[in-house]
């Protein structure tokens, strides 16, 4: 049996089959993937959670600046009703901290205890909703 070649043989350069093109199923899957990626990109561009807002305009009176609350009070949204608290937490998650960390105000408050910019921005959002 050592002399038998078996079912396999070596194919020479002249015997190679022609290159095959992708079939319709492969093309449909690629088209679906492209449409799905485009839909996700479009939805992300419309979502308010992914919008970068660099500043918060505070309608405070000229020259009056209240004391910045402690971090725990800002993270809890103390002094707000349920509807205002939801809006406050949405603002914390939506606005981008301007200290240079490129995180949301909420994430900056949670991770960077020394950031005064995040505290001031959270305080401004809180004062707007009171």
Q: For Cα atoms 91, 92, 93, give the angle at the middle one, nearest 5 degrees.
A: 90
pLDDT of residue 34: 97
| Alpha-carbon distance values, 40 to 45, 54, 96 (Å) | 9, 24, 22
Tokens coding 92: 């914390």
The model carries a pTM of: 0.47
- Per-10-residue mean pLDDT for the chain, 130 residues long? 69 79 94 96 81 50 55 77 85 84 83 82 83
**pLDDT tens digits along 90-109:** 888 888 888 878 788 888 88
Give the C-alpha separation, 79 to 129, whole Å: 10
pLDDT of residue 101: 80
84 φ/ψ angles, rounded to the nearest 5 degrees: -70, -35
| Alpha-carbon distance values, 39 to 27, 32, 35, 51 (Å) | 18, 10, 6, 17
For 85, residues 6+ apart whose C-beta sits below 8 A from its C-beta are 77
CA atoms within 13 A on the CB side of 92: 24
Residue 128: is it exposed, middle or buried by C-beta count within 10 angstroms (0-12/13-18/19+)?
middle
Domain definitions of the chain by residue range: 50-56+69-129
pLDDT of residue 68: 64
pLDDT of residue 60: 45
pLDDT of residue 63: 39
pLDDT of residue 66: 57
pLDDT of residue 59: 43
Q: 96 - beta bridge partners?
A: 104
pLDDT of residue 58: 42
């Amino acid at each position: 049996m050592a002399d038998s070649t078996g079912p396999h043989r070596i194919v020479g350069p002249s015997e190679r089959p022609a290159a095959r093109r992708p079939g319709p199923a492969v093309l449909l899957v690629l088209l679906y993937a492209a449409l799905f990626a485009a839909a996700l990109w479009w939805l992300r561009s419309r979502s308010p959670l992914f919008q970068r807002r660099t500043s918060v305009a505070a309608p405070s009176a000229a020259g009056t600046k209240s004391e910045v609350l402690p971090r725990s009070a800002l993270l809890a949204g103390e002094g707000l009703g349920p509807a205002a608290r939801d809006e406050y937490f949405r603002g914390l998650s939506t606005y981008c901290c301007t200290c240079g960390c490129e995180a949301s105000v909420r994430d900056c408050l949670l991770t960077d205890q020394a950031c005064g910019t995040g505290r001031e921005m959270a305080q401004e959002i809180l004062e707007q909703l009171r």
